[in-house]
Amino acid sequence: MISKSTIDQVFETARVEEVIGDFVQLKKSGSNFKGLSPFSEERTPSFMVSPVKQIWKDFSSGKGGTVVSFLMEHEHFTYPEAIKYLAKKYNIEIEETEQSDEQKKEANERESMYLVNEYANKYFQNILLTSDQGKAIGLSYFKERGFTDETIKKFQLGYALDNWSAFTDKAIKDGYNLKYLEQTGLTIVKDEKQFDRFKGRVLFPIHSMSGRVLGFGARILDNTKKAAKYLNSPESDIYHKSKILYGIYYAKQNIAKEDNCYLVEGYTDVIQFYQKGIHNVVASSGTALTPEQIRLINRLTKNITVLFDGDDAGIRASLRGIDLILEQGLNVKVCAFPEGEDPDSFARHNTLEELNTYLKENSKDFIAYKASLLMQEAKNDPVKKAALIRNMVTSISKIPDRIQKEVYVQECAKIMDISEDVLYSTLAQIGKKNLQDANRDYKQKQKAFEVIKPKIQVKKVDVQYLLERKIIELLLLHGNKEEEFEDLVLKENDEGDLDLVPVIQKAKVFEKIYLDLQEDEMEFTNQTFKSLYYTVIDALNQEEGFIIETFINKVDQEISSEITSILMDDEKYDLHDWNRKNIYPKDLDVERLVSETILSLRCFLIEQKIDEIKQQTKDTKNNLNPILEEVKDYNSLKMLLSQKLNRVL
């Protein structure tokens, strides 16, 4: 268990905008920061971070909370893991008590898999650096690639002994469960036998954006064996090959800083570039590029430079991923190395200055590059040239931004010496075909629902829910503020009718709300709000200097999430830059807002009471006069409250 003092220190030190900035590219928006949601696919920012309140809100998915809840949502950390991650980031020493056997058993399966991977990572590093076989084979290989000791340590490179079960035997001996060794793919279990998946290979650990080991990439060094050159960990609950990029943990901050990401193919390409001094580089790990991988980059930058191997196969494989990048709304440049070279070898044989110069001079816009590449094949063949132009227009059609699409059409017309009108016509044909295909798919999907046509149901607005939520918001944001409230006291006038007489009283917002609700015996119907209401009232009563950030950190996760959702409601308007469009929200009048909310709740409850009484008149055969008189009194009170609210009944 982590001590309370450590947890308090972590919350006091950690800055939500700094931590989230490691995972999402944030841009200043007034007093807040905004960015693309890391939880859903989008092109318009809906993710908001508030440094003042030290909370975040994702308006596309509805998620929100503190810096700890972000790590729990994004990295799937447990609460203790998130605290430890932040403590490490901010150099805070962790005071921890020994876990009981029962607590250890409660660790979930995902955590057990992470622990097994961490153990394996340290084991493979140790084998590489200390065993005779590791040094003679694994370390020699890395040295031949030109990797320094510092680089080998930085990327946590390792080696697995060329022995059928050396790792598995050691892991089991050290208390690790075979079940999790198998689930992570480190051990293959067949009948009664078990053996190491990566035996005789050098290891490249694959990290998440936060640095956790998700799996391994492994390369065989003995060419005489009939085995795959590269082998990856199998898919598991914690490792999804299509959703991670090799090197993203080391590159994320530099990608955001440089506002560009170099995309390569292999592990050694990344490591060689990093060692040379270019740190904003990641690899697709030999797999075809996926939308999930592109979205990972999209959180950090809008600019990707794809680096090709010099051979034809490498170029064509990389070209296939360009359309996918364009579809995601990113800007693409491409750079090919001389024939026979790849990013690894070119970086190894050139200085940092030479490498930077080459990348700068040879990184071309994808249209210019595609044209120069394919024109070599087309040459003077009109049919091939026409096919090339259609190929390029197809790529342009993937771009979602209309202005950018038009600029590329103009560029393509110049390069290919063809009329813009022809290109626009072709673009329209492609767009029409795509629309027809989409409509056909849609109609096919709808056929299954033709028999039963569901009725459209209009969701009824829960007025009481909204009013109760507003009361919680007022308590959180303004609970300790002192205001002059105009209370309404019912008094009989000279004619004997009830009148609301205003009386000015000074009070704190939370006192006003509490006394009014207590006076009218109003109870919250939403159980979460009810629990939150008494928790906040109690905190405001006890703490003179009530601080939201401190309060959020003390409540449980469910309540913390609800508080964040309430507090960040107003922040969503910042996403639309309304101020820039000369649209300004009305100035807040706390006293008026409190009074109107309480009065509105009273009106609503009175309406409910009137409906209940009217129902009684249907169910009873007794004298209706007393009941009708009660309805009349309630209607009179409702009328007075409505007048105060300036409502027309």
> What are the tens digits of pLDDT across the range 44-92?
888 999 887 888 988 888 888 889 989 988 887 878 888 989 998 899 9
Residue 648: count other Cβ atoms within 10 Å of its Cβ.
5
Return the pLDDT at 314: 55
Best CA proximity match to 265, nearest among 245, 294, 288, 286: 286
Question: How far apart are alpha carbons 431 and 425 in whole angstroms?
Answer: 10
Element (H, E) at 214: strand 213-220
Q: Greater confidence, 441 or 7?
A: 7
Q: Determine if residue 308 is left, alpha or beta; phi over 0 gives left, psi from -120 to 50 gives alpha, anything else beta.
A: beta
Mean pLDDT of 516-524: 77
Token couple for 350: 């050139």
Return the pLDDT at 619: 59
Question: Which residues lie across from 483 on neighbouring strands?
Answer: 507
Return the amino acid letter for 161: L
Residue 288: count other Cβ atoms within 10 Å of its Cβ.
11
Return the pLDDT at 649: 42
* Of 165-174, 225-234, 474-483, 579-588, minimum mean pLDDT range: 579-588
Return the pLDDT at 317: 60
| Most trustworthy range by pLDDT among 164-168, 285-289, 516-520 | 164-168
Asked whether residue 581 carries a pLDDT value surpassing 60, the answer given is no
Mean pLDDT of 261-289: 92
Asked whether residue 648 carries a pLDDT value surpassing 50, the answer given is no
Element (H, E) at 224: none
Asked whether residue 636 carries a pLDDT value surpassing 80, the answer given is no
Q: Greater confidence, 167 or 429?
A: 167
483 SS3 class: strand
Return the pLDDT at 138: 96
* Of 432-441, 498-507, 519-528, minimum mean pLDDT range: 432-441
CATH architecture of 108-239: Alpha-Beta Complex (3.90)
Question: How far apart are alpha carbons 47 and 73 in whole angstroms?
Answer: 14
Tally of residues, the chain: 649
Domain locations in the chain? 4-105, 108-239, 368-440, 463-572+587-644
Confidence of residue 132 (pLDDT cuts 50, 70, 90): very high
Question: Which residues lie across from 487 on neighbouring strands?
Answer: 503
Element (H, E) at 212: none
Asked whether residue 596 carries a pLDDT value surpassing 80, the answer given is yes
Whole-number average pLDDT of the chain: 82
Domain 368-440 in CATH 1.20.50: yes
Asked whether residue 269 carries a pLDDT value surpassing 90, the answer given is yes
Who contacts 37 (Cβ-Cβ below 8 Å, separation ≥6)?
45, 46, 47, 58, 59, 60, 61
Q: Greater confidence, 644 or 255?
A: 255
Question: How far apart are alpha carbons 289 and 230 in whole angstroms?
Answer: 17
Mean pLDDT of 395-414: 86
Q: Greater confidence, 428 or 598?
A: 428
Asked whether residue 251 carries a pLDDT value surpassing 60, the answer given is yes
Q: Is the dihedral of CA 195, 197, 203, 208 positive or negative?
A: negative
Mean pLDDT of 393-415: 86
**CA distances for 333 relative to 245, 257, 278, 359, 400, angstroms:** 19, 18, 17, 10, 17
Q: Determine if residue 277 is left, alpha or beta; phi over 0 gives left, psi from -120 to 50 gives alpha, anything else beta.
A: left
Q: Greater confidence, 276 or 300?
A: 276
Asked whether residue 20 carries a pLDDT value surpassing 90, the answer given is yes
| 451 burial level (CB within 10 Å; 0-12, 13-18, 19+) | exposed
Asked whether residue 309 carries a pLDDT value surpassing 80, the answer given is no
Asked whether residue 609 carries a pLDDT value surpassing 80, the answer given is no
Best CA proximity match to 329, nearest among 363, 375, 367, 297: 297
The class level of CATH for 4-105 reads: alpha beta
Return the pLDDT at 320: 72
- pTM confidence score: 0.68
* Of 17-26, 255-264, 297-306, 572-581, minimum mean pLDDT range: 572-581
Asked whether residue 548 carries a pLDDT value surpassing 80, the answer given is no
Q: Which percentage of the chain shows pLDDT scores above 70?
A: 80
Return the pLDDT at 623: 54
**CA distances for 453 relative to 276, 326, 330, 438, 445, angstroms:** 63, 38, 40, 22, 14
Q: Greater confidence, 517 or 180?
A: 180
Question: How far apart are alpha carbons 132 and 166 in whole angstroms?
Answer: 14
Asked whether residue 495 carries a pLDDT value surpassing 80, the answer given is no
pLDDT in tens, 361-372: 999 888 878 777
Mean pLDDT of 259-288: 92
Asked whether residue 448 carries a pLDDT value surpassing 50, the answer given is no
| Most trustworthy range by pLDDT among 19-33, 171-185, 594-608 | 171-185
Question: How far apart are alpha carbons 65 and 57 in whole angstroms?
Answer: 7
Question: How far apart are alpha carbons 302 and 304 in whole angstroms?
Answer: 7
Asked whether residue 115 carries a pLDDT value surpassing 70, the answer given is yes
Question: Which residues lie across from 283 on neighbouring strands?
Answer: 246, 264
Produce one character per residue of 472-506: b if its CB has 16 or more CB atoms within 10 Å, e if not. bbbbbbbbbeebebeebeeeeeeeeeeeeeeeeee
Confidence of residue 392 (pLDDT cuts 50, 70, 90): confident
